[in-house]
Amino acid sequence: MNMRTVKDTIMKMLIFLSAFITIGILVWIIGFVVTRGIKHINLAFLFTFPKGDEGGIFPYIMNTLYMILLSLSIATPIGVLAAIYLVEYTNSHPVVKFIVRVIRFATESLAGIPSIIFGLFGMLFFVIILGLSWSLLSGALTLSIMVLPTIIRTTEEALKAVPSSFREASLGLGASKLRTVYKAILPSAIPGILTGVILSVGRVVGETAAVIFTAGSAVNLMKNLSTSGRTLSVHMYILAKEGISFDMAYATATILLIIVFVINLSTNMLAKRLNKAV
């Protein structure tokens, strides 16, 4: 056995070991939470309203879904359009190159800002200055800013992965640049864009600091954009921090994992269907 073969074998072992450790950590975390929470989940826990900080979590489930839908509805169009500009409409002009550098710097900076900073900004700007109060809208606007970098970067990579022949063929047939992007490029990039949306869902669902500072922690169902309320992650944080009930905290965490799993699975299935259609 020569030295190259030894190196290749060692590298393969390290790769498999790293993959095994990654999967093992995921399974361990999920198993640790689910085994402690699943036994406390029942229909009353899922579909009744809370009594103080205890009781059912139905409003918190709905609040979480509202927060996901609204924040992604705000962030996704902005992120996708920004990525389209960065990939499809830039050229070598000095001014354009400067604008692109500024956008990329802003995107990278947003991705590295701690969530607590977003929460403080959202509370000062949306809640106090704009007078939106602690509400679903304030929370969704703050979270949409948080997930913008993820959507922009994943959409960029998805657009770059589209073969240049698609662009050339469309433009060669006389289609405009906008029609080429809309009809030829975006349909092929949708599976990659949905990947960014999946990653964004994970951050929206798991965020606590930014939500508690902007949407509040009221024990009620958010009936409109100006209503305050807590999400599942905020409820879980309060249960654990105040020592109210660790059993209910684990149960809430289990429901949170199930919601993320269902959303990710549904989005992946949709992406595969769209990929086959393209």
Tokens of 187: 């349909």
Name every residue whose Cβ is closer than 8 Å to that of residue 232 and which is 6 or more positions away in sequence: 57, 60, 61, 63, 64, 205, 252, 255, 256, 259
For residue 28, what are the CA distances in angstroms to 20, 40, 235?
A: 12, 20, 23
Identify the sign of the CA torsion 201, 26, 47, 216: negative
State the pLDDT at residue 129: 93
In a domain, 137, yes or no: yes
In a domain, 4, yes or no: no
Q: Which helix (H) or strand (E) holds 54?
A: strand 54-55
Domain with 69 in it: what CATH number?
Answer: 1.10.3720.10
State the pLDDT at residue 154: 92
In a domain, 21, yes or no: no
124 touches 213 (CB < 8 A): no
Q: How many CA atoms lie within 13 A of 152 on its CB side?
A: 25
Name every residue whose Cβ is closer than 8 Å to that of residue 62 and which is 6 or more positions away in sequence: 221, 222
Provide the residue-wise pLDDT of the chain in tens; the chain has 278 residues: 567 787 888 888 999 999 999 999 989 999 999 999 998 888 888 888 887 667 789 999 999 999 999 999 999 999 999 999 888 888 777 888 888 888 888 888 888 888 899 999 999 999 999 999 999 999 999 999 999 999 999 999 999 888 888 888 888 888 888 888 888 888 888 888 888 888 888 888 888 889 999 998 888 888 889 999 899 999 898 888 877 788 888 999 999 999 888 888 888 787 777 666 66
Range of the domain at 230: 41-277
In a domain, 199, yes or no: yes
Cα dihedral 181/187/189/191 (nearest 10): 160
In a domain, 118, yes or no: yes
Distance CA 253, CA 270 (A): 26
**3-state SS, residue 72:** helix
In a domain, 258, yes or no: yes
How many domains would you assign to the chain? 1
Considering only CA atoms, which of 208, 227, 205 is closest in space to residue 218?
Answer: 227
State the pLDDT at residue 168: 82
End-to-end CA separation in angstroms for the chain: 47
State the pLDDT at residue 276: 67
In a domain, 176, yes or no: yes
In a domain, 15, yes or no: no
Considering only CA atoms, which of 121, 140, 122 is closest in space to residue 75?
Answer: 140
